[in-house]
C-alpha cells in the first residue's frame, strides 16, 4: 500500500503502465490526490497518489539476491529487481527462503557443473549466490540434522523450466546422497527417463501451453539412515479425468491419442484407427496438431521410453489397445430403443465401433452393449435389469472411458515405480512436487475450477509457511509480533470445499438429481453465496459465476460442470472388464469388495479430486516445505526477452505477490543497524557522536523521526509498510535543506565575488576613462604640433619633388645624347675590327699552308737521305750491334720477369683464401724480384752509359751528317717503355697490396664470423650430444621398465601372491633349500676380523643351516627395531635411509627371489605415518623415503635389461670395479668380501647396477607409493590448517564493514578492520613459515618442498577466487583492497623463502591477483573489453570476467562497474562459447594429483655420499653390522 503523504514534487516513483506493467518516472506536479508524472519513456501521465509507489534510487544496479533486502518491497520493486538480475544472466533470486527461477532459454552449463555442486555443499543458506542447489542442500541438511522428511514444491506454468529445475534438484541430491545404480542407471536418471511416458499420457495442450501437465507429480527420493539415496517413487495426484470425454476448443485431449493416430501404418491398421478428426473425444476441438511437433516422432520416442522404464512389448501393445478402445468407445452413439427409456447403438457406424471396442478389450460384444445400456438393480426380493435412455447410456459410456483411462494411468505410474525401485525401510525422504499452476482463460470450465482449487490449497500451505518464516525471523530477533494479522485464504477454501454448502458439495448434490441442469446449479450458487465476498455474480450472464482467488478474479462457465463432474462406479463395467480375455485389461479391474459390488454408487470427480488433494496436503504437511517458483520470461521462448506483464501475472499466480502482501502486513522492511545508520544517520547526527551503540543510535533516529509501530531487533530494524518511504522523504528533506543551505552559501559567495569584481571593474573603468580623456587632450596637442610639421615637410617635399623632376629631365637628355654619340662611334670601331680580323686570318692561313708544304718536303728529303746513309753504315755497326746483345738479353730477362710478376699477381688473386700464408711469401718474392729488377736496371743503365759513350765516339768519328743513330734512339725508347712498365707494375703492386689489406680485413671478419658459427656449432653439437645421451638414458629406462614389467608378470604368474610376502617361518624354510653361496651371504660375519678372512670355505659350509637363518633373522629384527626410532640426520643425509640401503646391499637382498625384509620395512614406515597430524614425523619419513628411493633408482635394474641397453664406454677404474664385483659375486663361500664395503663407501658415483629380482622391484614400487602418500598427507594437512584462515580472510571485510560508517572514527575503524584481516593473512603466513621450517629441519628435498608450496598456493588461488565469484559481498572495492594487502603478505613470504623453496608458488595466484587488480582499479567504465581481457586480466575467461563485472559494487566511492557495451560484448562472446563443447565453468578446480615422478626426484636431487654415515648405537656394537662402520682407509 502506497503512502501518498511521502510523495512530493521531484520524487522518483513507479506508476502503472498498460504495456510495461510498471514504469518509472518523476513527479512534476501534485494536485490534490492526483499527481502528474513525467515517465522515462517521454510520456506525461496523471495518476492517483494511492496507486503510485516510491522508487529506491540507491538500489544496486545489478539488483539484490534476496528481495527481502529491498528497501521498498512492492510489485514494481520486485519486478525491477528480477529484470536487472535477468539482464545479467542471474536467473535465481531469493524472496526469503523462496527461490524464484527465471528460465533463461539458453544453455548455462557453468552454473550446474560439479564445481558448483561442490561449492554449495554444506554452505549456509544465503551465503552464496541464489541457486537451486542451495535449496536442495538446505532440504538435505534439514533432513539429516532434524531427522524429518522435506519437500520441495516446484511450481510454474509449462515452459517455465519446472522439469529442468526438478532434474537439477535430483542431480544435486544424488551428488549429496551417493548414487544407487540399477542396471547401470542412477535413480535420478530412471526418474527422468519416465518423464516422456508420463507426459504422453498425462499432458495436453491448453489455451496457454502446448505441453501442460494435467496431473500433479510428487517425486519421493528416499534415503537410508546414512543419508544415501536408497530408492524413489513417483506419486501422481489429481489427474484431469474429465478431459478424456470433454475438450474445449482450441485445446487438445491427452497426447497419447494423437500419437497413436500418427503411429506407423501397420499399428493404425491393427487398431482400426483413422484420423483424429473422426473421433468424438478428439473432434470437440478443432486443434489436432501442434506447431513444430511431430506426433509420429513422439510416438516412437514414447515407445523407446517405455522400453527404457521396463514396459515389455506385450504390455505396450495392451496399453495402446486400451487407448484405441477408448477412442472407439467415444464414437458409440446411442438412439432410443423399442422399449420405453431404452437405448441401442444408433447406426452401423456405432455398431462397428462397439464391435471394435469389444475386440480391443477382448470382451463379449453383447455384454459390452448391456453394460453400457442397462443397469442391474438388486432388491431384497429380486434382481431387476433396467434399461437406460440414450442420455444416460452416453453418461455410462463416458464414465467407462474415464475409468479405463484413469486406471491405465495409475498402472503406468505403478509400473514406473516398480522399475525404479522403492525402499520400504527408508527413514526419510525429500519430495519434489511438480504440479500445474493457476489458470485463468477467457473460457474457464470445471478443469480450471479444480486446478485453481488445488492452487488455493497450495497457496494456503505456502502462506502458512511464509507466515511461519516471518514468525521465526521475528522470534529470532526477539521482537513483539503478536498483533500482526495473518492474511489467509481460508474463506475461499470454505467457499469451495465446505460441507455442507460448498460449491463442490452443491455440485455433487446437483449431479445426483436427474432433473438438475447447469441453470439450476447456477441459481443454487447465487442463492447460497449471494452475500459471500469471494463469490461474484456477473451482471450479463445467468449461468456464470466469479470467484475472487488469491491470484485474481476468475469467471467460470457452469455449462458443463455437471457432465464433467459425474463419475459412476458401475458394477457392470467392473464385471465386464474383470473377465476380459486380455490379462492386462483384467488386471486394471481387479475384483471389488462384496459390499461395493451389489449396487451402483454415485461418485463425482470433484469429491474424488478433493480426496486426492487432501492426501497430497497431508503428505506436504508431514514434511518441511521449500518453495521454488519457476517463471517463463516470454512466450516466444527466446533468451534475453523480459515481458513485464507476463512475469507479473506469473508472480501473481505463483503466490509470490501474495507472500509480499503477507510481508507487508508485518514488517516488510528490515535493515541491519549499520546499513540503517549509514542511510539515515543524517536524520539525527547527534546520536552518532563519539563511540555509540548502533542499536541505541537507530532507536534515537526513529524516535526523532516520530515513527510508531517499528521494532528494534537484535541485529536489524523492522519497519512497517510506508515507514521506509517516510524516512526516505525526511532524508530527502534533510538533504534538500542541506543542499539549499549549500546553494545559499555558494550563491552568497558568488554574489560577493561578483560585487567585488564589478566594483573593481568600475574603478578600472574610471581610471581608463580619465586616461582616455588625457590621451585625447594629449593627442589633440600632438595633432596641432604635427600639423605644423606636416605642412612644413609637405612644402619641402613639394619643392624637392619639383627640383628632382627638373634634374632628372636634364640627366635624361644628356644621357640620350651621349648614348647616340657612343653608338655611332661603336659601329665604326666594330667595322674596322672585323676587317682587320679577316685580313689577319687570311694571311695566317696562307702562311700555314706554305709552311706545311715546306716542312713535308724537308722531312721526305731528310728521310730518304738518312736511310741511304744508314744502309751504308750497316756493316760498320754490326760490331756495335753485338755489344748491344747483352742489352737485348737484359731486356728479354726483364720481359720474362714482367711475365712472371704478372702470373704471380694472377696467382695471388686466385689464392686469396690462403692470404695469410701466401701474402708473406709473395711479398718476399716481389721484394726479391724488385731487387733483381733494380740490379738489372742499374746494369742496364751502366750499359746504356757505356753505349752512349761508344755512340759519342762513333759520332765523333763518323761524318758530320750522321749525328744520330736510330737504333740507339729506339733502344732508349724501349728502355724508357720498360721503365714505365716497371713503374706501372709498382703501381699495380701497391694496388694489390691495398686489395690484400682489404682482403685481410674481410678475412678477419670472416674468421670472426666463422669462429662464432663454430662456437654455435659446438653448442649445437653439445645439445645434440645431450639429447642423444638423454635418448640413450630413456632407452635404457624403457628397457629397464620393460624388463622389470616382464619379470613382475612372470613372477606374478609363477609365484602365489603370498609367497613373496610370507612370514618368517616360510622365509626360513625357503632359505633352507637355497644354494650355498646364498647361505653364506645370509650369515656373513664381521668382515674386518682377520681370522675370518683366513677361514676356508669348508669351515663355512660346516656351520649349521639353522644358525645362519636365525642370525639373519636377528639382524633383520635389529634393523627394523633400529629404523623404527628417530635416527636423525648426518649432515643433510637421513641416517635411516642410508642404513637401510647399506644393509640391503650388503645382504644382497635385491638379488634374492624371496625375502621378507622389504615387507617389514614397508610395514614399519606405514606404522610410523599412521598419525597423520604429526607433520614432523611425516616430513622425517618423506625425507628418508625419498632418499632411499633415489638410491634404489640409481642402483636397481631389472634382470635381463643389461643386454637390451646399449653398452657404454667405462673408465679403467669402473672396469676394474666391475671385474672385482663380478669376481666377488662368483667367489667361493668363504672368500673375503671386505672390498665390497669399500665399493659401497666410495660414494654413489661408483654404485654398481644391481640386477634386481621381483621382491626388490616390488619394494621400489611400494616405496614410490609411500613417497606419494606421505607427500599428499603433508599437503592435505597444510590445506586443512589454512582453510579456516582463508574463510576468515574472505569474510573479514564483511564482519568489519559495519564499523566503517561510524562518523569521525571511520578511518580508525577502517585501519582496525584492515589490521584484523591482515592478522588472518599473517596467520596463514605463520603456518606456511612453520611448515617450511619443519620441512627444512627434516631435510626434505627442495624439489618436493617447491611442489608442496606450489600446490598450496594453487589451493589458495582456487579457494579465494571461487569465493570471490560466488559471493557478491566479496566483489567490492574495499574487499579488493583487503585481499590485495593479504596477497602482499604472501608475496613477502615467497621473497623470504627464496626460489629454492618457494619456486613458482607466487605465479599460482595469478587468477586471484588479476581479479583483485580488476576490483581496485579506478574508472572501470572507461576500460574496453580488449584492455580488460588482454592487459588487465589475460588469464581470466570471459565467463569469469562477466561474473566479476556484474557482481562488482563499490562500497567505498560509489563508482560503477564496466560500461554496458562491455557487458553486452561479454554476453555475445559467452553465447558463442556456449555453443562449443568446452565446459563454460567460471570456477576453478583444485588439483590434488601428485605432480612428480620418480625420475623427477632422481634428476632434482644431488648425489649422496653414504660412506661416512655413523651407525646408531643400537647396532654399532653388533658384530653382524660391522660393515656399517666407516673405514679409515
The binding site for ATP consists of 156-163
> What is the four-CA torsion angle of 550, 552, 556, 562, rounded to 10 degrees?
-10
Judge residue 560's burial from the number of C-beta atoms within 10 Å of its C-beta, 0-12 exposed, 13-18 middle, 19 or more buried. middle
> What is the four-CA torsion angle of 1351, 1357, 1359, 1361, rounded to 10 degrees?
-160
1524 with 1122: CB under 8 angstroms? Answer: no
- Which residue in the list 437, 666, 722, 1399 is annotated as catalytic? 437
- Alpha-carbon torsion 987, 989, 992, 997, what sign? negative
**209 a catalytic residue:** yes
Beta-sheet pairing, 1196-1198 with 1133-1134 = unpaired
Category of 1198 on φ-ψ map: left (φ > 0), alpha (ψ -120 to 50) or beta: beta
**1296 a catalytic residue:** no
- Which residue in the list 103, 155, 166, 213 is annotated as catalytic? 213
Query: Alpha-carbon distance 200 to 254, whole Å?
Result: 7
Which residues fall in the annotated binding site?
156-163
**158 a catalytic residue:** yes
**62 a catalytic residue:** no
Omega before 250 within 30 of 0, i.e. cis: yes
Omega before 500 within 30 of 0, i.e. cis: yes
Cell 535420478, residue located = 188
Query: Alpha-carbon distance 649 to 554, whole Å?
Result: 13
Query: Alpha-carbon distance 1158 to 1061, whole Å?
Result: 9
Cα–Cα distance list, 1366 to 127, 172, 1296, 1482 (Å): 9, 17, 20, 10
Q: Which residues contact 519 (CB under 8 A, 6 or more apart)?
A: 542, 543
Q: What angle do CA 703, 708, 713 make, to 5 degrees?
A: 75
**1459 a catalytic residue:** no
62 with 84: CB under 8 angstroms? Answer: yes
Q: What is the DSSP string of 405-471?
A: HHHHHHHHHHHHHHHH---TT--EEEEEEEE------SSB-HHHHHHHHHHHHHHHHHHHHHHHHHH
- Which residue in the list 63, 159, 431, 1520 is annotated as catalytic? 159
**998 a catalytic residue:** no
1239 with 1219: CB under 8 angstroms? Answer: no
Query: Alpha-carbon distance 634 to 1420, whole Å?
Result: 33
Judge residue 366's burial from the number of C-beta atoms within 10 Å of its C-beta, 0-12 exposed, 13-18 middle, 19 or more buried. exposed
Read off the C-alpha cell for 1473: 562459447
Identify the CA nearest to 640 among candidates 1473, 1468, 1478. 1468
- Which residue in the list 89, 163, 600, 940 is annotated as catalytic? 163
For residue 1423, the number of C-alpha atoms closer than 13 Å in the C-beta half-sphere is 21
- Which residue in the list 151, 209, 452, 1241 is annotated as catalytic? 209
- Which residue in the list 89, 95, 158, 394 is annotated as catalytic? 158
Read off the C-alpha cell for 1279: 590445506
- Which residue in the list 212, 463, 644, 1372 is annotated as catalytic? 212
1149 with 1158: CB under 8 angstroms? Answer: yes
Bridge partners (DSSP) of residue 556 are 444, 545
Identify the CA nearest to 368 among candidates 393, 389, 337. 393
352 with 560: CB under 8 angstroms? Answer: no
- Number of other residues whose CB lies within 10 A of the CB of residue 1125: 10
Cell 500419437, residue located = 259
Judge residue 386's burial from the number of C-beta atoms within 10 Å of its C-beta, 0-12 exposed, 13-18 middle, 19 or more buried. exposed
Query: Alpha-carbon distance 1108 to 1097, whole Å?
Result: 15
SS (H, E, C) 799-822: HHHHHHHHHHHHHHHHHHHHHHHH
- Which residue in the list 439, 922, 1036, 1079 is annotated as catalytic? 439
Bridge partners (DSSP) of residue 21 are 17
Query: Alpha-carbon distance 53 to 55, whole Å?
Result: 7
Known catalytic residues are 158-159, 163, 209, 212-213, 437, 439
Amino acid at each position: 500500500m502506497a503512502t501518498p503523504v511521502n510523495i512530493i514534487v521531484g520524487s522518483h516513483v513507479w506508476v502503472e503502465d498498460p504495456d510495461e506493467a510498471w514504469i518509472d518516472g518523476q513527479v512534476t506536479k501534485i494536485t490534490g490526490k492526483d499527481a502528474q508524472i513525467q515517465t522515462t519513456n517521454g510520456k506525461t501521465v496523471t495518476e492517483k497518489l494511492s496507486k503510485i509507489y516510491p522508487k529506491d534510487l540507491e538500489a544496486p544496479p545489478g539488483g539484490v539476491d534476496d528481495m527481502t533486502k529491498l528497501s521498498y518491497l512492492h510489485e514494481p520493486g520486485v519486478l525491477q529487481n528480477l529484470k536487472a538480475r535477468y539482464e545479467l544472466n542471474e536467473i535465481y533470486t531469493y524472496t526469503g527462503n523462496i527461490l524464484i527461477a527465471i528460465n533463461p532459454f539458453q544453455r548455462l552449463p557453468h552454473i550446474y557443473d560439479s564445481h558448483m555442486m561442490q561449492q554449495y555443499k554444506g554452505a549456509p543458506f544465503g551465503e552464496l549466490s541464489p541457486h537451486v542447489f542451495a535449496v536442495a542442500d538446505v532440504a538435505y541438511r534439514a533432513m539429516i540434522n532434524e531427522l524429518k522428511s522435506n519437500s520441495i514444491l516446484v511450481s510454474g506454468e509449462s515452459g517455465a523450466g519446472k522439469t529442468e529445475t526438478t532434474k537439477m534438484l535430483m542431480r544435486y541430491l544424488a551428488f549429496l546422497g551417493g548414487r544407487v545404480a540399477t542396471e547401470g542407471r542412477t535413480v535420478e536418471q530412471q526418474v527422468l527417463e519416465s518423464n516422456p511416458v508420463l507426459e504422453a499420457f498425462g499432458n495436453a495442450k491448453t489455451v496457454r501451453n502446448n505441453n501442460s501437465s494435467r496431473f500433479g507429480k510428487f517425486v519421493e527420493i528416499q534415503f537410508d539412515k546414512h543419508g544415501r539415496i536408497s530408492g524413489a517413487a513417483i506419486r501422481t495426484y489429481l489427474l484431469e479425468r474429465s478431459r478424456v470425454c470433454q475438450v474445449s476448443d482450441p485445446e487438445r485431449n491427452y497426447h497419447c491419442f494423437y500419437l497413436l493416430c500418427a503411429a506407423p501404418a501397420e499399428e493404425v491398421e491393427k487398431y482400426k484407427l483413422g484420423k483424429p478428426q473422426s473421433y468424438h473425444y478428439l473432434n470437440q476441438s478443432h486443434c489436432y496438431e501442434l506447431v513444430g511437433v511431430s506426433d509420429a516422432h513422439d510416438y516412437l520416442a514414447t515407445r523407446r521410453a517405455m522400453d527404457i522404464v521396463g514396459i515389455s512389448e506385450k504390455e505396450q501393445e495392451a496399453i495402446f489397445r486400451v487407448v484405441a478402445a477408448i477412442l472407439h468407445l467415444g464414437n458409440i452413439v446411442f438412439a432410443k430403443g423399442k422399449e420405453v427409456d431404452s437405448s441401442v447403438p444408433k447406426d452401423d457406424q456405432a455398431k462397428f465401433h462397439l464391435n471394435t471396442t469389444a475386440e480391443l478389450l477382448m470382451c463379449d460384444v453383447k455384454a459390452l452393449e448391456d453394460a453400457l445400456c442397462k443397469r442391474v438393480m438388486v432388491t431384497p426380493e429380486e434382481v431387476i435389469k433396467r434399461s437406460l435412455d440414450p442420455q444416460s447410456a452416453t453418461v455410462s459410456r463416458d464414465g467407462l472411458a474415464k475409468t479405463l483411462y484413469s486406471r491405465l494411468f495409475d498402472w503406468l505410474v505403478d509400473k514406473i515405480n516398480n522399475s525404479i525401485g522403492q525402499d520400504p525401510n527408508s527413514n526419510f525422504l525429500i519430495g519434489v512436487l511438480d504440479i500445474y499452476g493457476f489458470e485463468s482463460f477467457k473460457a474457464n470450465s470445471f478443469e480450471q475450477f479444480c486446478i485453481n482449487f488445488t492452487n488455493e490449497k497450495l497457496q494456503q500451505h505456502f502462506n502458512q509457511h511464509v507466515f511461519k518464516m516471518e514468525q521465526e525471523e521475528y522470534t529470532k530477533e526477539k521482537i513483539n509480533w503478536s498483533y500482526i494479522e495473518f492474511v489467509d485464504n481460508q474463506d475461499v477454501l470454505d467457499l469451495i470445499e465446505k460441507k455442507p454448502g460448498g460449491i463442490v458439495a452443491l455440485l455433487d448434490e446437483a449431479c445426483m438429481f436427474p432433473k438438475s441442469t447447469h441453470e439450476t446449479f447456477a441459481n443454487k450458487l447465487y442463492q447460497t453465496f449471494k452475500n459471500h465476498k469471494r463469490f461474484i455474480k456477473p451482471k450479463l450472464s445467468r449461468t456464470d459465476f466469479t470467484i475472487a482467488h488469491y491470484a485474481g478474479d476468475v469467471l467460470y462457465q457452469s455449462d458443463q460442470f455437471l457432465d464433467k463432474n459425474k463419475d459412476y462406479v458401475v458394477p457392470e463395467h467392473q464385471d465386464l472388464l474383470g473377465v476380459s480375455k486380455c490379462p492386462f485389461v483384467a488386471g486394471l479391474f481387479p475384483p471389488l469388495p462384496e459390499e461395493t459390488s451389489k449396487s451402483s454408487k454415485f461418485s463425482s470427480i470433484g469429491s474424488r479430486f478433493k480426496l486426492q488433494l487432501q492426501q497430497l496436503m497431508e503428505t506436504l504437511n508431514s514434511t518441511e516445505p521449500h518453495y521454488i517458483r519457476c517463471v517463463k520470461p516470454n512466450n516466444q521462448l527466446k533468451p534475453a526477452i523480459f515481458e513485464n506483464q507476463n512475469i507479473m501475472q506469473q508472480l501473481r499466480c505463483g503466490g509470490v505477490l501474495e507472500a509480499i502482501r503477507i510481508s507487508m502486513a508485518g514488517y516488510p522492511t528490515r535493515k541491519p543497524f549499520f546499513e540503517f545508520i549509514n542511510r539515515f544517520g543524517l536524520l539525527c547526527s547527534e546520536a552518532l557522536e563519539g563511540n555509540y551503540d548502533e542499536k541505541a543510535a537507530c532507536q534515537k533516529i526513529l524516535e526523532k523521526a516520530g515513527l510508531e509501530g517499528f521494532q528494534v531487533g537484535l541485529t536489524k530494524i523492522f519497519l512497517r509498510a510506508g515507514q521506509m518511504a517516510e524516512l526516505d522523504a525526511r532524508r530527502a528533506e534533510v538533504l534538500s535543506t542541506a543542499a539549499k543551505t549549500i546553494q545559499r552559501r555558494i550563491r552568497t559567495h558568488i554574489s560577493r565575488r561578483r560585487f567585488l569584481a564589478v566594483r573593481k571593474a568600475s574603478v578600472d573603468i574610471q581610471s581608463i576613462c580619465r586616461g582616455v580623456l588625457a590621451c585625447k587632450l594629449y593627442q589633440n596637442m600632438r595633432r596641432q604640433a604635427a600639423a605644423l610639421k606636416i605642412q612644413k615637410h609637405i612644402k619641402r617635399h613639394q619643392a624637392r619633388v619639383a627640383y628632382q623632376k627638373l634634374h632628372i629631365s636634364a640627366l635624361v637628355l644628356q644621357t640620350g645624347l651621349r648614348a647616340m654619340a657612343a653608338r655611332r662611334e661603336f659601329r665604326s670601331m666594330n667595322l674596322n675590327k672585323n676587317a682587320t680580323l679577316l685580313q689577319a686570318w687570311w694571311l695566317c692561313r696562307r702562311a700555314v699552308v706554305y709552311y706545311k708544304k715546306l716542312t713535308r718536303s724537308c722531312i721526305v728529303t731528310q728521310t730518304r737521305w738518312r736511310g741511304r746513309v744508314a744502309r751504308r753504315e750497316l756493316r760498320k755497326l754490326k760490331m756495335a750491334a753485338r755489344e748491344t746483345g747483352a742489352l737485348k738479353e737484359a731486356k728479354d730477362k726483364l720481359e720474362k720477369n714482367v711475365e712472371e710478376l704478372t702470373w704471380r699477381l694472377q696467382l695471388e688473386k686466385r689464392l686469396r683464401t690462403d692470404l695469410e700464408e701466401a701474402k708473406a711469401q709473395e711479398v718476399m718474392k716481389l721484394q726479391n724480384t724488385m731487387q733483381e729488377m733494380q740490379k738489372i736496371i742499374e746494369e742496364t743503365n751502366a750499359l746504356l752509359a757505356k753505349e752512349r759513350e761508344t755512340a759519342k765516339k762513333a759520332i765523333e768519328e763518323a761524318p758530320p751528317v750522321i749525328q744520330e743513330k736510330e737504333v740507339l734512339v729506339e733502344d732508349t725508347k724501349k728502355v724508357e717503355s720498360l721503365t714505365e712498365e716497371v713503374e706501372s707494375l709498382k703501381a699495380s703492386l701497391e694496388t694489390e697490396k691495398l686489395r690484400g689489406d682489404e682482403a685481410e680485413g674481410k678475412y678477419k671478419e670472416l674468421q670472426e664470423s666463422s669462429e662464432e658459427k663454430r662456437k654455435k656449432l659446438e653448442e649445437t653439437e653439445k645439445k645434440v650430444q645431450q639429447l642423444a645421451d638423454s635418448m640413450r638414458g630413456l632407452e635404457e629406462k624403457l628397457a629397464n621398465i620393460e624388463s622389470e614389467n616382464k619379470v613382475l608378470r612372470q613372477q606374478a604368474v609363477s609365484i602365489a601372491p603370498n609367497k613373496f610376502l610370507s612370514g618368517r617361518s616360510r622365509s626360513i624354510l625357503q632359505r633352507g633349500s637355497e644354494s650355498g653361496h646364498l647361505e653364506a651371504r645370509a650369515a656373513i660375519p664381521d668382515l674386518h676380523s682377520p681370522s675370518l678372512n683366513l677361514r676356508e670355505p669348508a669351515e663355512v659350509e660346516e656351520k649349521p643351516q639353522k644358525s645362519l637363518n636365525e642370525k639373519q633373522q636377528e639382524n633383520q629384527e635389529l634393523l627394523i627395531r633400529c629404523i623404527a626410532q628417530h635416527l636423525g640426520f648426518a649432515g643433510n643425509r637421513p641416517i635411516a635411509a642410508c642404513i637401510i640401503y647399506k644393509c640391503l646391499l650388503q645382504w644382497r637382498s635385491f638379488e634374492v627371489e624371496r625375502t621378507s625384509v622389504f615387507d617389514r620395512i614397508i610395514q614399519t614406515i606405514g606404522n610410523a605415518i599412521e598419525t597423520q597430524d604429526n607433520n614432523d614425523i611425516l616430513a622425517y619419513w618423506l625425507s628418508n623415503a625419498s632418499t632411499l628411493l633415489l638410491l634404489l633408482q640409481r642402483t636397481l635394474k631389472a634382470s635381463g635389461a643389461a643386454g637390451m641397453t646399449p653398452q657404454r664406454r667405462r673408465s679403467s677404474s669402473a672396469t676394474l670395479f666391475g671385474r672385482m664385483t663380478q669376481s666377488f659375486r662368483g667367489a667361493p663361500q668363504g672368500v673375503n668380501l671386505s672390498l665390497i664395503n669399500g665399493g659401497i663407501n666410495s660414494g654413489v658415483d661408483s654404485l654398481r647396477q644391481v640386477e634386481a629380482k621381483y621382491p626388490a622391484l616390488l619394494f621400489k614400487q611400494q616405496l614410490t607409493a609411500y613417497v606419494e602418500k606421505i607427500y599428499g598427507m603433508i599437503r592435505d594437512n597444510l590445506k586443512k590448517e589454512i582453510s579456516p584462515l582463508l574463510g576468515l580472510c574472505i569474510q573479514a571485510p564483511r564482519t568489519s564493514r559495519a564499523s566503517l560508517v561510524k562518523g569521525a572514527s571511520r578511518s580508525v575503524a577502517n585501519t582496525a578492520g584492515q589490521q584484523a584481516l591482515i592478522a588472518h593473512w599473517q596467520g596463514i603466513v605463520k603456518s606456511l613459515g612453520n611448515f617450511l621450517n619443519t620441512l627444512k629441519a627434516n631435510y626434505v628435498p627442495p624439489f618436493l618442498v617447491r611442489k608442496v608450496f606450489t600446490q598450496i598456493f594453487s589451493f589458495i588461488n582456487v579457494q579465494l577466487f571461487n569465493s570471490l565469484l560466488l559471493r557478491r559481498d566479496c566483489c567490492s572495492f574495499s574487499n579488493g583492497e583487503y585481499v590485495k594487502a593479504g596477497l602482499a603478505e604472501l608475496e613477502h613470504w615467497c621473497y623470504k623463502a627464496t626460489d629454492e623453496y618457494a619456486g613458482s608458488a607466487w605465479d599460482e595466484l595469478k587468477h586471484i591477483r588479476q581479479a583483485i587488480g580488476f576490483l581496485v582499479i579506478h574508472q572501470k567504465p572507461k576500460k574496453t573489453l580488449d584492455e580488460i581481457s588482454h592487459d588487465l586480466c589475460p588469464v581470466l575467461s570471459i565467463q569469469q570476467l562477466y561474473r566479476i563485472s556484474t557482481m562488482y559494487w563499490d562500497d567505498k566511492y560509489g563508482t560503477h562497474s564496466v560500461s554496458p557495451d562491455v557487458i553486452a560484448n561479454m554476453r555475445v562472446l559467452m553465447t558463442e562459447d556456449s555453443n562449443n563443447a568446452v565446459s563454460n565453468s567460471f570456477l576453478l578446480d583444485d588439483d590434488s594429483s601428485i605432480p612428480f615422478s620418480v625420475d623427477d626426484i632422481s634428476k632434482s636431487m644431488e648425489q649422496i655420499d653414504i660412506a661416512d654415515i655413523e651407525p646408531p648405537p643400537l647396532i654399532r656394537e653388533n658384530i653382524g653390522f660391522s660393515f656399517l662402520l666407516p673405514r679409515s682407509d
